[in-house]
Structure 1
């Protein structure tokens, strides 16, 4: 008998010994071009998945009487949030290669055509819309006043301290960023090698991907910190490198998962062709084939792995304002150039306003604080309350401008230029009652990534509880936030790390009955934290 026959007989023998769980439902990695469901995780964080997703096979598939019933079942399961992982539903399959395979059943994150809140027709009809307009009127008049005051006192509309920081090494920063972007294609070519079966994803493939992750991250952290860039360029390069890292991770894990499912289907089809007449074994083979086929079919109606592994597909994913890869994403039919012009103008205007506020209100305080570093600790503590009180109001305004600039103006511009249909980049985080709600609503793209690739992966691969998965996510988030502070200030103090972890007890506190009975109390507590928190952190890093 040939070695191939021996390996197939080994696989059949292992199948015949598998326990049957007829009542267990199969879990699928479902994706849809229609919508993403993203609730269920109690916190966001930053990239990295505890373990690579390997294809895991539940024991018994659901019987779907008709295509309509199947669609209803998929719809009902994708409408729920959270990842349902059942240890009892997993069985081992000995493949001819001798490799054991496991599949992680990701809960679907559903994309759908959405507009950002501030662009929605409902918002423009809201009874509070006038206050939104009032905010911009106040911001505009305050900015004009700052220019007038500066012109009267110095003879110039604006000092150029911040502008000089922005202009310094601008071409060097651009070339570094371009090189960083081109490095992303290492992940693409690795997946091409996996597709060609040159690299075994279940063996060495995912390990190579993680080695590349760490190499990419550490290299560009070192570049940002040691490259003699101004602090604005340093934080830009760090944040952009983290964005690219998350995109690479999602692309690799998704396609690696689909490659494993395709291979499993091929193995089962090969076993079926042997015309095995053993009822139990054949039932299991057919069961696995049906599961794999459903897993593949659910992903997309128009494209199937590995047809998506094209250079254009990867390039477009790197351009989309999303961090989670899937075969299909909602697209618009055309580019609305008037919308691009509107958002591009808003981006430019907000950038100028940000420079003016930083130059006029924050830079002088920062200079004072830096000069205070050489004084005794007792003197710094004595001066600190006054510095903080001066810093809080302008820093809060800059905080709000930065949010709108990135999550509304810039991301909407990118989405329109790439015809990306899902514009849910943030939710109404300003109505936050519970701190974990803020974690979900403030930065939806990052939350979606962390929900799938950090929170879910920690539960599915490490078999931890949901609470432990949440803590893992928060810890990872806190580490990367503190890393950002190190890149900016050049010192490790742990202030932001501690503030990040404070969200866990604050989240538990905000769930108390008093906040449920009086939600305005919870909103007030949240806004107090947003009002003073960023200023406290910045002043601590500058002063101590």
Structure 2
């Protein structure tokens, strides 16, 4: 009875308490009214707020004092230290990308002005039909094309001779004499045809002689490598090690089998070497695994684009400058000759750079990709050349490899000094430069020969007195100025020899 009353009395208390939790303002708590509770809470909140505001004020004053101290210390701290200017060589600074971009923009703008001036003065001079007529005067008489077809005879003679030597039918002396006669005729026959047949144009003659010169260097390397194979055979070497031909890491690229002497003496092997973008023969060339069609099409597009651009710029820009240079050359007006030379230097250099990219990168990579030829190092960083020797060693890697392998090192093994061997290499290069220029023009002035031989004293001077940036600048000046000077000399002599006589 009492428990039930107690429970009954407690039940309303629980409900009131729960309701008080919902609305504290309506009911008393611990004997205090809701208003008193609210005032006490407000007083506690006010005290907390004042404490926090005091702490905030103290923190602000402290941070302000720290800022004043740091500002004072910054004003008193040293603003100087030992350092070099950025344009000084000792600064270690090498990020000149902005200056390079500025140079490119200025070059484009200046040449755009020159090209616009050329168009306003001469009009449009580009004529593709005229270019085609340079290769043939008579469409039914193509001596240059006939000479290129005849070159296959010399290739077959070299292959036949090597086969006879491998079987022992020819002695080494007989084989050497046959090779010498074959290569001597290769150099003299096209030169004689170009000089004696009037319908061969200078451009067609230069193309034919260039083709025969490349074949001459290839067959010379073919002769030497097969001779080395026979020498190894005589000392009981069963096969020619692949490591002598190409790096061992590329032994079986593309799944091609290894070839051993005399299994290399086939028509297929000879044809591959003739068309491969190299002058040095090997039994086993490094091969790429497959043909990349996108890469092949890009190189083909570049080839066609640069051929058209070279022809257009030559007709529109080079020829008018050369024609306007004839009168100063005749009068020997040094000031005007210098002005024409500098005017010719810029377009000539741009054309030379385009030819370099179009030939050594686009066309040779196109041929290498088509034949799956693995060695694509056709040039090195010749633009960073600080010596003339470095330039000639790196701008044309196929020729440099041939000279090093088949000419320079054999001379050293025979006891010649390095200076004499290098001079002999420059002499050989000077001979072929003159051969490729004088014979198609049907005149012998030795300007190309003297220009190449002048590289020897220039190389000595640059390596001895100029280093670093100054050496690189000297190499660039020799490239930019030397070529147009030789061109002007040949064009002037050609004009005097032909057109002056016709006018008289």
Considering the TM-score relative to the shorter chain, is it more than 0.5? yes
C-alpha RMSD over aligned residues? 3.3
Partner of 1:471: 423
In the alignment, the residues of structure 2 paired with residue 413 and residue 399 of structure 1 have an alpha-carbon distance, to the nearest angstrom, of 20
In the alignment, the residues of structure 2 paired with residue 497 and residue 252 of structure 1 have an alpha-carbon distance, to the nearest angstrom, of 27
Say whether 1:164 aligns with 2:101.
no
Relative to structure 1, is the Cα distance of residues 523 and 471 closer, same or farther in structure 2, using a 3 angstrom cutoff? same
Q: Which of 151, 164, 168 pairs up with 1:180?
A: 151
Partner of 1:18: none
Q: Which of 265, 273, 296 pairs up with 1:309?
A: 265
Relative to structure 1, is the Cα distance of residues 130 and 412 closer, same or farther in structure 2, using a 3 angstrom cutoff? farther
In the alignment, the residues of structure 1 paired with residue 121 and residue 337 of structure 2 have an alpha-carbon distance, to the nearest angstrom, of 30
Q: Which of 372, 376, 399 pairs up with 2:352?
A: 399
Trace 1:51-90 onto structure 2 (pairs within 5 A): none
Deviation for aligned residue 1:382: 6.5
CA contact (8 A) 1:425 1:445 kept: yes
Relative to structure 1, is the Cα distance of residues 507 and 172 closer, same or farther in structure 2, using a 3 angstrom cutoff? same
Partner of 1:226: 196
Q: Which of 236, 250, 274 pairs up with 2:221?
A: 250
Deviation for aligned residue 1:521: 0.7
Partner of 1:433: 386
In the alignment, the residues of structure 1 paired with residue 347 and residue 174 of structure 2 have an alpha-carbon distance, to the nearest angstrom, of 52
In the alignment, the residues of structure 1 paired with residue 228 and residue 380 of structure 2 have an alpha-carbon distance, to the nearest angstrom, of 30
The structure that is helix-richer by fraction is: 2
Say whether 1:415 aligns with 2:373.
no
Relative to structure 1, is the Cα distance of residues 153 and 485 closer, same or farther in structure 2, using a 3 angstrom cutoff? closer
Trace 1:202-213 onto structure 2 (pairs within 5 A): 203-213=173-183
Partner of 2:80: none
In the alignment, the residues of structure 2 paired with residue 493 and residue 247 of structure 1 have an alpha-carbon distance, to the nearest angstrom, of 28
TM-score, normalising length from structure 1? Answer: 0.64
Trace 1:316-355 onto structure 2 (pairs within 5 A): 316-355=272-311
Q: Deviations over 1:3-44 (max 9, x none)?
A: xxxxxxxxxxxxxxxxxxxxxxxxxxxxxxxxxxxxxxxxxx
Count of aligned pairs:
385
In the alignment, the residues of structure 2 paired with residue 431 and residue 179 of structure 1 have an alpha-carbon distance, to the nearest angstrom, of 41
DSSP 3-state at the match of 2:224:
helix
Deviation for aligned residue 1:386: 3.4
Partner of 2:22: none
In the alignment, the residues of structure 2 paired with residue 205 and residue 244 of structure 1 have an alpha-carbon distance, to the nearest angstrom, of 18
Q: Which of 525, 529, 532 pairs up with 2:478?
A: 529
Partner of 2:20: none
Deviation for aligned residue 1:264: 3.9
Q: Deviations over 1:347-386 (max 9, x none)?
A: 110011101110011112333455777x5xx446565233
Say whether 1:492 aligns with 2:444.
yes
CA contact (8 A) 1:221 1:238 kept: yes
Trace 1:442-461 onto structure 2 (pairs within 5 A): 442-461=395-414
DSSP 3-state at the match of 2:466:
helix
Q: Which of 490, 493, 496 pairs up with 1:541?
A: 490
Relative to structure 1, is the Cα distance of residues 130 and 160 closer, same or farther in structure 2, using a 3 angstrom cutoff? farther
DSSP 3-state at the match of 1:423:
coil
Once the two structures are overlaid, the 10-residue window that deviates more, 495-504 or 163-172, is 163-172
Relative to structure 1, is the Cα distance of residues 211 and 144 closer, same or farther in structure 2, using a 3 angstrom cutoff? farther
Partner of 1:387: 340
DSSP 3-state at the match of 1:184:
helix
Q: Deviations over 1:300-348 (max 9, x none)?
A: 6732211111211111111110100111111111111111110010011
Could you tell me which runs of 5 or more consecutive residues in structure 2 were left unpaired when the two chains were aligned.
Answer: 1-94, 246-250, 252-257, 494-504
Deviation for aligned residue 1:458: 2.0
CA contact (8 A) 2:286 2:373 kept: yes
Partner of 1:6: none
Relative to structure 1, is the Cα distance of residues 343 and 296 closer, same or farther in structure 2, using a 3 angstrom cutoff? closer
DSSP 3-state at the match of 2:391:
helix
TM-score, normalising length from structure 2? Answer: 0.69
CA contact (8 A) 2:412 2:421 kept: yes
CA contact (8 A) 2:291 2:370 kept: yes
Q: Deviations over 1:391-448 (max 9, x none)?
A: 1111111111111111011111100000001110011111110100011011000110
In the alignment, the residues of structure 2 paired with residue 422 and residue 435 of structure 1 have an alpha-carbon distance, to the nearest angstrom, of 25
Trace 1:84-233 onto structure 2 (pairs within 5 A): 150=119, 154=123, 161-166=130-135, 168=137, 172-201=143-172, 203-227=173-197, 228-233=199-204
Could you tell me which runs of 5 or more consecutive residues in structure 1 were left unpaired when the two chains were aligned.
Answer: 1-125, 266-291
Deviation for aligned residue 1:138: 7.4
Bigger Rg, structure 1 or 2: 2
Relative to structure 1, is the Cα distance of residues 382 and 490 closer, same or farther in structure 2, using a 3 angstrom cutoff? farther
Relative to structure 1, is the Cα distance of residues 155 and 295 closer, same or farther in structure 2, using a 3 angstrom cutoff? closer
